[in-house]
Structure 1
Amino acid sequence: MKTKYTYKQIWTIAYPILISLIMEQMIGMTDTAFLGRVGEIELGASAIAGVYYLAIFMMAFGFSIGAQILIARRNGEGNYKEIGPIFYQGVYFLLAIAAVLFTLSIVFSPLILKNIISSHHIYDAAESYIHWRVYGFFFSFVGVMFRAFFVGTTQTKTLTLNSVVMVLSNVVFNYILIFGKFGFPQLGIAGAAIGSSLAELVSAIFFIIYTWKRIDCKKYALNILPKFQSRTLKRILNVSVWTMIQNFVSLSTWFMFFLFVEHLGERSLAIANIIRNVSGIPFMVAMAFAATCGSLVSNLIGAGEKDCVRGTINQHIRIGYVFVLPILVFFCLFPDLILRIYTDIPDLRAASIPSLWVLCSAYLLLVPANVYFQSVSGTGNTRTALAMELCVLAIYVAYATYFILYLKMDIAFAWTTEHVYGIFILLFCYWYMKKGNWQKKKI
């Protein structure tokens, strides 16, 4: 198959995204590692509360993916002056959305959580986390637009620097606020939420200063702060609204998974949170190459080189396996070594090993599935991507409801839901890229 990019070029674009995603994952890993030494209740509650926050955050991330597709297309066309207006309209929109979602979360999240969490202890801890975590909406929503700009223009090294700053900030803030160091009160799970929100504030400030000092703002029309432009925003939303819905629904089903597991007991929920964080490393590796593929597909179409798309997709699947498989082998051979990072309770580590093995096997499907799915989004056919995702998630929820909620299967078996997701999303997206009418899409 015809290709345009070498593996070295793909790696050059992907590795800063990979580093930034892993660094962001380390925020969750840091929270889990610290809270795993506070107690199993806090460890389990942070799973539900963390995914609750993530489900809302992913709407903003979905919007930024739409903006990123447009920025990448304009970059491929050489229309650099159109990139700034896309960026700023995205920032305006996401700040408004952050204000609305912040207010709704503060008012309604206690009521929602009380009705869906069976354990009173888990509810108290989760509500405490969310109350402070939602302040991060304002900072993280701005951050995703900066990511859209840097990925869309293939200037991804900045993401690495930003991620290092954010993770180091999170480690410091969490250590001080969770355990009450240097004269600060011992806040436990609330301290983890405050620390993560402050780290996102530091990240946003870094992006602003770096862009102003190091990027050619005039080239991309970033030096002009435009008025609100409904036409530009509408153009972004035409692409991104489907990605926003898709991301929210996707993470909402992930939230439902943890709610189902919570009904299996506090120990099962604690195991699920540990495995979620361990699996985050191979997931972020797979997503880095998938996101790179989506951006390059959009650039190829913008440059009129549609015949290179299929070959580029296959390249990303191969390089994804090259990086993910060694990680999975290491996890399977030395599970206790990995799990020791997240908890110092020996029987909790032992109980988590079967779940880790099951989830590792799912990545044999998830690597190509994610690459193909992001490629569909990269064509600009985000409505089609949403339709496929909704079909797959309906199957996912039905499977999880029957085997976890109804049959109450073991927590390790519960993770086979990831195999179900990977199989069906891969089948749908492969069929679309082979047979679909994606080459004529205009954005």
Structure 2
Amino acid sequence: MALLEDKKMSKEIFTLALPAIFEMLLHTLVWTFDTGMVGRLTPEAISSVTLGAQIMFTVSNVFGALGVGTTAMISRNIGAMNTERAEKVAVQALSLGIIISMIVGSVGIIFSKNIFYRLVDDIEVVKLGTEYLRIVFIGAFFLIPTMIGNSILRGAGNTYIPMISAATANIFNIVGDYVLIFGKFGFPRMETKGAAIATGFGQVVGAIITFYYLFRKNPYIQVRIKNLFKFNGETLNSLVNLSFPAILEVFMNEGSRLVSSFWIAQLGTIAYASHSITVAAESISFMPGYGFAIAATTLVGQNLGSKNVDRAEKSVKASTYYAILLMGIVGMLFFIVPYPIMRLFSSDKDTVLLASKCLRIGAFEQIPTAIGMTLSGALKGAGDTKGPFRISLITNFLVRLPLIFLIVYAFKLPLIYIWIATNIQYLVEAILMYIRYKKGSWKEILIN
């Protein structure tokens, strides 16, 4: 019986994790294609698109973190067989997401020029970046609700529709980039404007797929259009209280990475380029951790909802094991063959050589990262969003930023020490997540 139960749980975990991993892979690939196609334009075009995309997606990710509380509440109610309550939570979350997206999109469109003026001095970059940002912020009207809609589906146990939504959106984005940037098939050559239109159109397509599934009758969860914007104070309060620490966590992590990149740029052009392409390779390695964290979030919430704490713990243990296994394999590849991997990202020998040294160091962060990401997902699924936020606060402000500042400005050490510092950060994070998880207070959290 135990073996049968283990097989059943493994199947549930992979059913949830694999589509989520593939979804993240698609997002990474579309970013790579975007960068490659825009990279054929002028340096000003590259700078404007890169910076504009970073601004828009950072803002969207911050507010999209409302989906963390949404997933926790919905998975708990689905586990308790309270579908009606889960649907009420879903409609509240989606309504709030639509309102936030309208505000964020409008503010972004209005203040795009001011944002670029404050960030860069190059007039051409300001001009191109303003045009790009205004268009992609129209896409934010759709992106934030889509992110929350996908969180609703994941909480209900459906990771396939978010994957299909992302796949279709990204295909339209890539094709649109090629056609509109370079003026193919009779379309005018629009360059950066074309890149923005393709990105925005892809987001609209993704939204249509997610909303179509949410609004129609399906085996998982349904949002009824007639109930949109009919807010319930108690439900809304619970949703915001659960999500707000996650929103702060994303904001802090994004801000920390941004500040770090400014500091690392002081090490020189080759060092910064090497760091950038190593981060690109590293981001791919995080996908298994992300996928199994999603599985842990959903299964912990559902099992706690059904009062099966033992099964919730087993799901976390199994998810963590699989994340360690897959990311450990990636870590071995990073350590054994870093140079060929980095050659995929650059043809400059000096950049690749330095990046391969960084990647070999990054190999040691894989297992701690797997543990930290999966346990963070488990805690959030139980409704403990404050714990991961506090741990991120500690690891960013007491570990990552101070170490990088000292390396760059005080000791003036080479780039490889930056990667040693990030290894320390991920190790500390894994230890603190494990301590938080083992305390077991997450088992007692009540969610309405």
TM-score, normalization: structure 1? Answer: 0.87
Write the letter of the residue equivalent to 1:67.
T
Matched, 1:234 2:264: no
Query: Contact conserved, 2:90 with 2:223, CA < 8 A, in 1?
Result: no
Matched, 1:402 2:406: yes
Which stretches of structure 1, 4 residues or longer, exceed 6 Å deviation after superposition?
A: 118-125
The 1:335–1:431 alpha-carbon spacing in structure 2 relative to 1, beyond 3 Å, is closer
Aligned to 2:224: 222
Unpaired stretches in structure 1, ≥5 consecutive residues: none
What is the correspondence of 1:172-191 to structure 2 with a 5 Å cutoff? 172-191=175-194
Aligned to 1:276: 279
| TM-fit CA distance, 1:69 | 0.7
User: How many angstroms apart in 2 are the aligned matches of 1:193 and 1:352?
Assistant: 30
What is the correspondence of 1:154-303 to structure 2 with a 5 Å cutoff? 154-212=157-215, 215-216=218-219, 220=222, 222=224, 224-231=226-233, 232-303=235-306
Of the structure 1 ranges 200-209 and 35-44, higher mean CA displacement relative to structure 2 is found in 35-44
| TM-fit CA distance, 1:221 | 5.5
The 1:335–1:430 alpha-carbon spacing in structure 2 relative to 1, beyond 3 Å, is closer
Matched, 1:354 2:357: yes
The 1:380–1:284 alpha-carbon spacing in structure 2 relative to 1, beyond 3 Å, is same
Secondary structure of the structure 1 residue equivalent to 2:227: coil
Matched, 1:132 2:135: yes
Secondary structure of the structure 1 residue equivalent to 2:170: helix
Query: Contact conserved, 2:18 with 2:291, CA < 8 A, in 1?
Result: yes
| TM-fit CA distance, 1:425 | 1.6
User: How many angstroms apart in 2 are the aligned matches of 1:50 and 1:29?
Assistant: 13
| TM-fit CA distance, 1:364 | 2.4
Query: Contact conserved, 2:297 with 2:381, CA < 8 A, in 1?
Result: yes
Matched, 1:65 2:74: no
Query: Contact conserved, 2:214 with 2:222, CA < 8 A, in 1?
Result: no
The 1:297–1:119 alpha-carbon spacing in structure 2 relative to 1, beyond 3 Å, is farther
User: How many angstroms apart in 2 are the aligned matches of 1:116 and 1:400?
Assistant: 22
Aligned to 1:99: 102
User: How many angstroms apart in 2 are the aligned matches of 1:277 and 1:121?
Assistant: 27
Secondary structure of the structure 2 residue equivalent to 1:323: helix
Query: Contact conserved, 2:150 with 2:210, CA < 8 A, in 1?
Result: no
User: How many angstroms apart in 1 are the aligned matches of 2:405 and 2:26?
Assistant: 33
Q: Paired residue for 2:308, among 286, 298, 305?
A: 305
The 1:78–1:33 alpha-carbon spacing in structure 2 relative to 1, beyond 3 Å, is same
Secondary structure of the structure 2 residue equivalent to 1:327: helix
Of the structure 1 ranges 179-188 and 377-386, higher mean CA displacement relative to structure 2 is found in 179-188
Query: Contact conserved, 1:95 with 1:138, CA < 8 A, in 2?
Result: yes
What is the correspondence of 1:369-384 to structure 2 with a 5 Å cutoff? 369-384=372-387
Aligned to 1:413: 417
| TM-fit CA distance, 1:75 | 0.3
The 1:403–1:228 alpha-carbon spacing in structure 2 relative to 1, beyond 3 Å, is farther
Aligned to 1:81: 84
User: How many angstroms apart in 2 are the aligned matches of 1:135 and 1:32?
Assistant: 21
Query: Contact conserved, 1:81 with 1:221, CA < 8 A, in 2?
Result: no
User: How many angstroms apart in 2 are the aligned matches of 1:166 and 1:37?
Assistant: 23
Secondary structure of the structure 2 residue equivalent to 1:135: helix
For 1:300-346, what per-residue CA distance to the aligned partner results, in whole angstroms no more than 9, with x for missing partners?
A: 21111223344332211211123223334445555565445545555
The 1:257–1:110 alpha-carbon spacing in structure 2 relative to 1, beyond 3 Å, is farther
User: How many angstroms apart in 2 are the aligned matches of 1:438 and 1:106?
Assistant: 41
Write the letter of the residue equivalent to 2:105.
F
| TM-fit CA distance, 1:77 | 0.5
Q: Paired residue for 1:393, among 380, 384, 396?
A: 396
For 1:369-418, what per-residue CA distance to the aligned partner results, in whole angstroms no more than 9, with x for missing partners?
A: 11111222122121233222212221222222222355454344333343
Matched, 1:427 2:431: yes
Indicate the RMSD between aligned Cα atoms, in angstroms: 3.1
Aligned to 2:30: 27
User: How many angstroms apart in 1 are the aligned matches of 2:163 and 2:440?
Assistant: 36
Write the letter of the residue equivalent to 1:82.
R
User: How many angstroms apart in 2 are the aligned matches of 1:374 and 1:163?
Assistant: 21
User: How many angstroms apart in 2 are the aligned matches of 1:285 and 1:371?
Assistant: 10
What is the correspondence of 1:45-60 to structure 2 with a 5 Å cutoff? 48-60=51-63
Write the letter of the residue equivalent to 2:429.
I
| Identical pairs, percent | 19
Query: Contact conserved, 1:49 with 1:130, CA < 8 A, in 2?
Result: yes
For 1:165-201, what per-residue CA distance to the aligned partner results, in whole angstroms no more than 9, with x for missing partners?
A: 1221121112223333334454445543432222111
Matched, 1:442 2:438: no
Secondary structure of the structure 1 residue equivalent to 2:64: helix
Query: Contact conserved, 2:56 with 2:137, CA < 8 A, in 1?
Result: yes
The 1:158–1:283 alpha-carbon spacing in structure 2 relative to 1, beyond 3 Å, is same
Query: Contact conserved, 1:116 with 1:259, CA < 8 A, in 2?
Result: no
User: How many angstroms apart in 2 are the aligned matches of 1:221 and 1:177?
Assistant: 35
User: How many angstroms apart in 2 are the aligned matches of 1:50 and 1:409?
Assistant: 31
User: How many angstroms apart in 2 are the aligned matches of 1:308 and 1:152?
Assistant: 17
User: How many angstroms apart in 2 are the aligned matches of 1:187 and 1:339?
Assistant: 32
What is the correspondence of 1:331-346 to structure 2 with a 5 Å cutoff? 331-335=334-338, 338-339=341-342, 341-343=344-346
For 1:115-137, what per-residue CA distance to the aligned partner results, in whole angstroms no more than 9, with x for missing partners?
A: 55688887777656544332221
For 1:184-243, what per-residue CA distance to the aligned partner results, in whole angstroms no more than 9, with x for missing partners?
A: 4544455434322221111111222344456258x6453643442142222211211111
What is the correspondence of 1:110-121 to structure 2 with a 5 Å cutoff? 110-112=113-115, 114-115=117-118
Unpaired stretches in structure 2, ≥5 consecutive residues: none
TM-score, normalization: structure 2? Answer: 0.86
